[in-house]
Amino acid sequence: MRIDIISIAPNLLESPFNHSIIKRAKDKGLIEIIIHDLRIYGLGNYKQIDDTQYGGGAGMVMMIEPIANCIKKLQLERDYDEIIYMTPDAKTLNQGTANTLSLKKNILILTGHYKGVDQRVRDKYITKEISIGDYVLTGGELAAAVLVDAVVRLIPGVIGDEQSALTDSFQDHLLSPPVYTRPSEFDGMKVPDILLTGNFPKIEDWRSEQAHKRTKEIRPDLLDETS
């Protein structure tokens, strides 16, 4: 998979993609992540990328021309399966969206700043808009990093134990059950007996029961979801 990201703060994206699992996935050739500095496409001597909004009101709006020029240049080299705009005024990211995106070949992500982008960018180029939650960040970069991380880890070969991605929280609209490792007792706190029995069908039943119990307590809304 190839992921292109258009950003006005490319430095913010360096660290998340150059460590640990994402870095290994890049090194293995499973993914390619290319960051494009929007400023390069800015207008005039000052490389302008934003302007005040028509109709008045506080805050700057990202202009269409620099973004259009950048997207058009990238589109000369490849077709994108999705052009995603990261913005808080969109549907929230969930595991289903991450699963769907993990099957794509080329994804382009535009990260928003300030008051957002000129609506015509969204109308003309954007095929999908994603927020990562009901709160506002200073820019879309960290949100893009979250999206890329959630998607990339689903690509076969990226995480060692593929079974583990399938049994994550949310894959079946349930939170994960509690997990334990050695020691079997710490300060009088014991690991549940069932996990030490080696009776795997019974252990699976217990885990499923615990997952339902946790979900019902913490995220009952997930139990109503069907997709």
Binding site for ligand 6GU (CB under 6 A): 86-88, 112, 131-133, 135-137, 139-140, 143
Output the smallest distance, CB 89 to ligand 6GU, in A: 9
Output the smallest distance, CB 221 to ligand 6GU, in A: 18
Q: How far apart are the first and last CA of the chain?
A: 24
> CB of 81 within 8 A of CB of 106?
yes
Q: Is the Cβ of residue 71 or residue 93 nearer to ligand 6GU in the bound state?
A: 93
50 beta partners: 62
Question: Can you tell me which residue has the tokens 């589109």?
Answer: 75
Query: Helix H segments across 153-199?
Result: 162-166
Output the smallest distance, CB 126 to ligand 6GU, in A: 12
Task: Report which residue's Cβ sits closest to ligand 6GU.
Answer: 143
Q: Is the Cβ of residue 33 or residue 211 nearer to ligand 6GU in the bound state?
A: 33
Output the smallest distance, CB 99 to ligand 6GU, in A: 19
Report which secondary-structure segment, H or E, holds 83: strand 82-92
- Report the C-alpha gap between 195 and 16 in whole angstroms: 35
Q: Is the Cβ of residue 10 or residue 139 nearer to ligand 6GU in the bound state?
A: 139
